[in-house]
Structures are given as structure tokens and as C-alpha cells.
Chains A and B, each alone.
Chain A
Amino acid sequence: MAELTTAVRATPTPPRTVRTSAALPGTRRARRYWLVLIGLALLAAAFGIALVVWDNPMPVGTAGFWRIVALRSKNVLVMLIVAFCQAMATVAFQTVTTNRIVTPSILGFESLYVAVQTGAIYLLGATGLTMLTGVPQFIGQIVLMVGLAVALYGWLLSGKHGNLHVLLLIGIIIGAGLGSVSTFLQRLLTPSEFDLLTARLFGSISSADADYLPIAVPLAAGAGLLLWRRARRLNVMALGRDVTTGLGLNHRRELVVVLVLVAVLMATSTALVGPMTFLGFLVATLAYQFADTHDHRHVLPVAVLTGFVVLSGAYFVMKNLFYAQGVVSIIIELVGGVTFLVVILRKGRL
């Protein structure tokens, strides 16, 4: 059966008149790609607009109406940033590690975030959490996460025995270590403190402060732009270290640059809304299914749009069906996980 479907899919598409190595050879594949992209864009726009205007309790045009619109627009912008960061970071990370089943959270960004939040509430009680809110604290958390990642990269990749797999392994171990410290501290908290903390540890859109946006937007956009400009080099890096070197790229340099950009994106997203482990993975995998090409210049936009659709869709459902604003990671993991399995089982490959 598997052979059969492969054979059917493999039969050459309509006779080629022009032979091309383009990312989407043939009009059929190109048309399919653009349809997917436009479809996602429309869906994203629909969810974005619905989130802003749907079910506004105030009469249209009043000051209250606009205040609610402004508040909700902030949430939509937060979702856009998070989707952008997670999608770009995960696709790039999977490419440079030549591994489609890892996500950058393997490097311990989220464990660090959880440990910081837990530590604060353990040491300072409920006031600890309020002390973690504010623009300087937001910047501090980003710096801490990027710092940890860069220290890890620098230490491992500059040495003679520097090796990406060791890096990932150490990332996992640090993540697990921080995770157990957090779990231990959480046991020592009072139930009410624990309650407060739990709310912070689900990826939550509404908890993001509007004051953070002037910092988050340029960070995300800057890192994203730099990644985008490396898209063609990312295509090469997907072929592995040796081919990359053979084709004239300095593999180690490219690797470090991409990993630093990934760290900035992940830290921004995590400091903004908390852990979103599954989103990036889901989005990257779906994006490859939707875009159906290896070319990053085609995959990345699809990934970002998919991320936004998933995130805003989950938020819309949470808010209007379950009246539980903000906590989107739960539904992403549930619905996203199922979608993911269906897609993978149907297509049979990553």
C-alpha cells in the first residue's frame, strides 16, 4: 500500500516544457502553494478581525468600544509576535540541527523561565511574581535566556570537541535539572502561591503586558529579518555539515549565527507569554506539509501564517466557547496534537 501511493505520487506531473530547479517546479505545484498561502492569510485575517470585533459588549463607536478594541488588538499583536517567533525559530532550528523532531525548547529556554518564576515566588512569595512584571524585568528575562543559550553555544562550538549533538544533550540535561529544581520548589509553596504560579506557567496570551511590545516587536522583527536573509543558506545547511562546507559555507559560523537568532526569538516569545513548547513543533511540521517544498523562502511564510492561525484559532475557541481567556497552550496541545497525528499518519512522512 505504501509503495502504491508512493508510486502514484511519484509519477511525473504534466510534461515539463521548461526544466527548472525552482522550489516549486511546475505550475500545478506553484498554484497549490499560492492557494495554500492565500488561504492561510485569509484565515489569519478572519481570526484576527474576529478576535477584535466579535462579541464586543459596548455599543459601536463609544469610547468603551474602542477601549476594548485596543485591548484586544494588543492580544492579537501578541499572538502575531509569538506565532512569528515560534515558527521562524523552530523551522530554522530544525534545519540547522538536521532534525525534524526537535524544537529549540530543548535548549532549556522554557525550563529557565519556569525556574525563574518558581524561584521568585518561592523566595518572595506572591509579591515575587509582581516583581517579575515590568519592562526592565522583561528585558532581564530575555537577556538571561539568550545569555544561557549563547554561553552554551560558545562554550561548546568553539572548542575542538564542539559538537551539535553534545550541545543538544547538555541542553536537555540543563533543562531537566532546572525542571526538577522547579518541581521541588513548587512542592514547598502554599496552595495559593502554587495557584498563582500555575496560571503563569501555561502559555497565556492575556498575561502579556502592552508595555513589553515596543521591545518585543523590534527584537522579533530584527531576528526574523536576519533569518530571512539567510534563507538560501538555510536551504544548504539542511543538507548537513559536510555538504554545507563543500559548497563553501562556513558551517560553524552559520550555525552559531542561526542559533543566536533562534535564541533571541525563543526568549522573546517565552518572556512574553510563557512556555509554548508544542506550538513551534506543530507549526513547523504542518508548514512542511502545507508548503511541500524544502525551500525556506517558501516554508517560512507558511509557517508563520500557520502559527498565527493555530494560535488565534485556539484563543478564539477558548474565549468564546469555554470562556477561559488566554490559556491557549492547552487547546493547542489537544487539537494541535490530534491534527498533527492525522496529517502525519495520512502522509506518512515528516
Chain B
Amino acid sequence: MITLDGVRKDYTSEVRIGPVDLAIPAGGITALIGPNGAGKSTLLTLIGRLLGLDAGTIEIAGYDVARTRSKDLAKVVSVLRQENHFITRLTVRQLVAFGRFPHSKGRLTAVDEEMISQAIDFFELADLEGRYLDELSGGQRQRAYVAMVLCQDTEFVLLDEPLNNLDMRHSVQMMKHLHRAAAELGRTIVIVLHDVNFASHYADYICAVKDGAVVEFGPCAQVMTAPVLTEVFDTPVQVIDGPNGPLAVYY
């Protein structure tokens, strides 16, 4: 379980995120949705202790993120930011291997290599594993980064718009994989999604964020309604019954 209690981040006197109180249940996928600049990335990076809190507390499985040592947290929670700095002369496989760092401290064992291979195969990166990161397309690189984070093998996984740059097939595949990781391995995945329909179909819970505050949080059915989405996104949204559950139509 992830609990946020009176969490605040004050960027400037005008831009303040929070206070946010939220309890994300353990197990399953929670999708963060909301317009640009709502504060989704801020919340995710606060939870992932990449950004310092200005007030409040965040606990992941009982660990206070502000007080627990980073190296202990790294075995509990993994986080991927929206943008990533990448370096040259690093191959896809070497990048994915960094996911094992919290466990092996850079001295990879045969078990590590096996997990790396699995993550790579899963994201269909096997043919690319020897390629340098600067020789990949945006989507391929994105998959490599997600593979790295999943290779970290933590109970809690935080992903900021991992579907960025992915084509339809790879988006669906990634969501299916995350869904399976949540269902079969009991992982708790918090994911920022751009497309509410992806959220609706794959997530167990949706958290709608707007202007630095949580406006709605609950099971998909509770959030996937025309009034809620219209209010959150400030644009007319209709929700119709699709073949696989509710479908938001906004164009």
C-alpha cells in the first residue's frame, strides 16, 4: 500500500501541488490521469523519492520514503521518469542490466543475467540487445527503459507515461504485461497514462488529478463517467459502452 498524507510540493508561489491525501491499495494497477500540468509527474516522482517533499509524508509498504535509506527503497520500489537522459556507448542489454544494480551492486550473477534476458525477450528487444541506445527509435528506447525498471524486480513499480512513443501493438503489449505482473506476481503498479481508454481497460483503479489535487479516486467504473472526465479534462467527454467496457469519446 502507498499512502500519501498531506503531501505538498511548492514549486513557486503560484505553482503548488497538493495537499494530497491518497491511499493506493497494494496489488493491481492504479492509473494517474489528468490534463497536462495537473501534477501527475510530480506526485509520481514524490512517491518515488526523486523529488523532496515540502510537507506531509509518503509511505510505501510502511517505509517512509523521506527516511528510509535509498538503497533499501530500491529493493521495494522502482521508478521511471517521463524523460530520461541517455548516454552513448551503452547497449540495450547493458541498460537493462542496471536494473539489477540494487541487488548485485554491479557484479552480475548468472541469475541476474537470466532475469535480464527475460525482460529483454519480453519486450521483444532480443534482436536489439547489442545496439547502442543512440541507435534506437524513441519507442524502442522507451521499451528498454521499462525493461530496466521491471528488471529491478520490486513490489512497487512507478511509471510515468511509459506508453510514450509506442505504437499500438507495443502499447497493448506493455499494458498486458504490466497487468499480468500485477495479477500474477501481486505487484503494485502506479502508472501515468495519457489515454483514458487504456486506463479504463487495464487499470484497477483510476486517480484523476487536476490543478495539483486529486479530484476523483476509485475503481474504473467510478471515474469513467462523462461528468467526471468532462470536469477533469475541461473538454466535453462522452462515455459509451464499448465492446470491452466503458469507452471515452472526446473528439
- Which A residues form the contact surface with B (CB < 8 A)? 6, 9-10, 12-13, 16, 19-21, 23, 25-26, 98, 232-233, 235-236, 238-243, 245-250, 288, 292-294, 349-350
Contacts and interface: CB of A to CB of B under 8 A. Distances in A.
Given A245-B70, A248-B71, A249-B70, A294 B90 contact: yes
B87 A250 contact: no
Majority secondary structure of chain A interface residues (helix, strand, loop or mixed): loop
A294 B87 contact: yes
A238 B74 contact: no
B135 A242 contact: no
A293 B71 CA distance: 26
A82 to B, nearest CB: 26
Given A25-B130, A247-B101, A242 B50 contact: yes
B167 interface: no
B14 interface: no
B84 A288 contact: no
In this complex, the member of A19, A25, A26, A293 whose beta carbon has the largest number of chain B beta carbons within 10 angstroms is A19
A21 B70 contact: no
Interface in B125-151: 127, 129-132, 134-135, 149
Nearest to A231: B106
Nearest to A236: B101
B88 interface: yes
Given A21-B96, A242-B50, 20 more contacts: A12-B127, A19-B116, A21-B108, A21-B113, A21-B116, A26-B130, A233-B106, A236-B101, A238-B90, A240-B85, A242-B81, A245-B70, A246-B78, A246-B79, A246-B152, A247-B99, A248-B72, A293-B89, A349-B88, A350-B88
B18 interface: no
A238 B87 CA distance: 7
A25 B108 CA distance: 14
A13 B106 contact: no
Which 9 A-B residue pairings sit nearest by Cβ, starting from the closest? A248-B74, A232-B106, A21-B97, A240-B85, A248-B71, A248-B102, A247-B101, A294-B90, A294-B89
8 contacts: A13-B130, A21-B93, A240-B85, A243-B84, A245-B50, A246-B74, A247-B101, A294-B87
Interface of B: 45, 48-50, 69-75, 78-81, 84-91, 93-94, 96-99, 101-102, 105-108, 112-113, 116-117, 127, 129-132, 134-135, 149, 152
Given A235-B106, A248-B71, A248-B74, A288 B135 contact: no
Nearest to A240: B85
Given A238-B87, A239-B98, A250 B116 contact: no
Contacts of B93: 19-21, 25
B84 A248 contact: no
B129 A236 contact: no
A233 B87 CA distance: 15
A243 B98 contact: yes
A8 B108 CA distance: 30
A245 B94 contact: no
A292 B81 contact: no
A23 B108 CA distance: 11
B130 A16 contact: yes
Contacts of A25: 91, 93-94, 130
A275 B75 CA distance: 45
Contacts of B75: 248
Contact of A294 (B94, B102, B149): B94
Nearest to A250: B70
Contacts of B70: 245, 248-250
A349 B193 CA distance: 34
Contacts of A12: 127, 130
Given A10-B135, A13-B130, A239 B87 contact: yes
A249 B71 contact: yes
B75 to A, nearest CB: 7
B20 to A, nearest CB: 21
Contacts of B113: 19-21
A242 B85 CA distance: 9
B106 A246 contact: no
A12 B132 CA distance: 11
A240 B71 contact: no
Contacts of B129: 19
A239 B130 CA distance: 18
A249 B74 CA distance: 9
A288 B89 contact: yes
A349 B134 contact: yes
A136 to B, nearest CB: 41
Contacts of A20: 93, 113
A72 B86 CA distance: 45
B130 A248 contact: no
A236 B130 contact: no
Nearest to A12: B130
Contacts of A236: 98, 101, 106
A23 B95 CA distance: 11
Contacts of A9: 135
A20 to B, nearest CB: 6
A350 B89 CA distance: 9
B11 to A, nearest CB: 12
B85 A239 contact: yes
Contacts of A238: 87, 90
Contacts of B108: 21
Contacts of A243: 84-85, 98
